[in-house]
Amino acid sequence: MTLSFYESHRNRPEDLYPSEARFLPWLAERAESVLDVGCAAGGFLPIWRAFAPRIRYEGVDVSAELVEAARRLHPGVAFQQGDALHGIAREDGHADVVQALGWLHWVEEWPRALDELWRLAARYLFFDVRISLGDAVVGRQRLELDGEWDGKTRVPYVVVSWPELAGRIEALGPAVVRGYGYLGPPASAEEVPPEVCLAAFVLERGESPLRLELDLPFEWPRP
């Protein structure tokens, strides 16, 4: 089910979620290269090229099966198996944009992954998370990629604490933090709040003092 879903879904601009659509076209105007970490079967390649036909796209995924599918579907494009939690075999600042969409909310060690993603980003880190104003929560999510559950497959569903996330972002040292998010129910999730903030962020490197450009249902935490 997972392979067939990623081979045929999430591969057109109209498939973007609102938080993704807010930033991806903007980034495509400013970048020459993108490293898609968690690329699955490479569905975001045609999405990026719809906005930037000459962009250099590479993909990394933890699943060997999905990497094989990506290579088959997109010959001539570089795909490799890798895990942000254990280090990705690429140099610092490897791509203008590092993208990590649709999987950080499955990773309990998300701060470690975020550090590695930021290392790889020459200019921008583009990622999404699920946020709570309260304490961080790790629930469970039924994996229903095709709208049906097999009755057994569950993954962690990580809702991060907004103060902790903001602190982690500040510690990375970006010059600009752009964010967009909205409140909604966590899909097919258990043991989590009934409403979370589904948010995407773009962190931009630079030397200037931190600037915030946020469209979120809550304010940036202050000490």
Tell me the per-residue pLDDT of 36-50, one tens digit each, with 9 for 90 and over.
999 999 999 999 999
How much is the pTM? 0.92
Band (150; pLDDT cuts 50, 70, 90): low
Mean pLDDT of 187-211: 93
Mean pLDDT of 200-220: 96
Q: Is the pLDDT of residue 6 over 80?
A: no
Q: Is the pLDDT of residue 4 over 90?
A: no
Q: Greater confidence, 195 or 142?
A: 195
CA distance 186 to 198: 8
Band (120; pLDDT cuts 50, 70, 90): very high
pLDDT of residue 1: 41
Q: Is the pLDDT of residue 147 over 70?
A: no
Map tokens 């690429």 to a residue: 90
Q: Could you tell me how far CA 156 lies from the centroid of its own chain?
A: 16
Which residues are paired to 60 by β-bridges?
37, 80
pLDDT of residue 155: 87
pLDDT of residue 9: 66
Domains delineated in the chain: 2-215 (3.40.50.150)
Mean pLDDT of 152-174: 93
Mean pLDDT of 25-45: 97
**Cα separation values, 6 from 22, 94, 124, 192, Å:** 22, 25, 25, 26
Band (154; pLDDT cuts 50, 70, 90): confident
